[in-house]
Structure 1
């Protein structure tokens, strides 16, 4: 997981700018968040937004109408972006599914490299809470870092039987980007003026040299997030993890993950759905 990143610099080919600008100007491209299809608007009025979303996701993804499939794809974050659901969305949908008599269980369908530390513990806790009421299975292709944090709280984890499948990256890092030396070399005098009583405001930034104190603060945050991450995995996979080597941030293929207790079975979404139904019986 990445608890803090300073800046992302996007490199765009100038030849693509006209097409990119045209897309951004069209009404359907103004929002980066996913929208419920209009055909489900009557369901929203009849039973509420969360129920309507769950009905839609069942219709689109699930092999069985009584099992909710939540796709966890791309970069994970609190609110989501550019076509990805956010962690708060998943939490809401799980809470709705827990009390919905039409839903017998859930499958979380993972294809993610991970995401931010912010809100991941809350998502994982929502999975653990749901598990007390109904079965929840993880179906994974790629499931790394924050994705595995959440998947580890499921009843069981199924991994697709292919060479490209993988799990792990149980580790935490902070990406700090410092441009102070570059600015100095370019002869650019760039400064931050703080109010007299704001001497500690934004001390870790890309303009100024990172002080030993600020680096120590970042290190402490990173270590705290790692302890939180590791503790959650150990609780969720209690009695299954075979070695502490999995907590170094390394990634593993399907066979390695099975041997180390990171996953339970090889299988696809259909197999995970059948298992959820079996546990619900």
Structure 2
């Protein structure tokens, strides 16, 4: 499966997130430290640099944080989202009123660090499965309110997005199956209910469940917490009749083994909900009083 192309998110999608973050940081009195220490007309140049290797994402967020604080801030990019950087590499240079730069600093770095962390672990997983036809995908296990940005970061790292929301597709999981009375009733009901534009995927834990699914038919099958040997057998049973997705307990150390079973897609929730931030610092370069 082919990874989605990386295209910028429309500003309207993430501007509310940046505004909320700035409002949260400014509180009710603004940046009292900068106001007490820095002359109002002082100007500076600062540079954001990677303090560890990784894949960059979130530059649009950093630029918007600066623009919302003060349109007088200028930003010069040295890399783009989706680029890999080494430790110490400059990412972007910021010039403008010193007080404004200090106000925007933490919000800009928070978004860049978080999103670059997601992009970096995704890029690492993509590298680990090179040579197979498998794609790395995220899930809906995202930070509330940040889903669009976090899924963008996955794409920046070369991964694919699973559902964006509950309305995108039918994904029948274990609780749906239990409540509906089994794989057969759940899948049959879904096929009789949804329109022709809605894809249907169903989760299975056993090969017996998979056999039922193949008799009824589905667009994709989520093979949950299966061993590599069982996954290989499941892929043989599916034989191209549905997309084969592996999920559950997959780590960087096991992702290659899973990919080599022949599945089409590997989805992991932890790449969005537990990816460590990429360490990015903002360092003073010069003053322009």
Q: TM-score range by the shorter chain?
A: under 0.3
Greater RCO, CA 8 A, separation 6+ = 2
TM-score (norm 2): 0.23
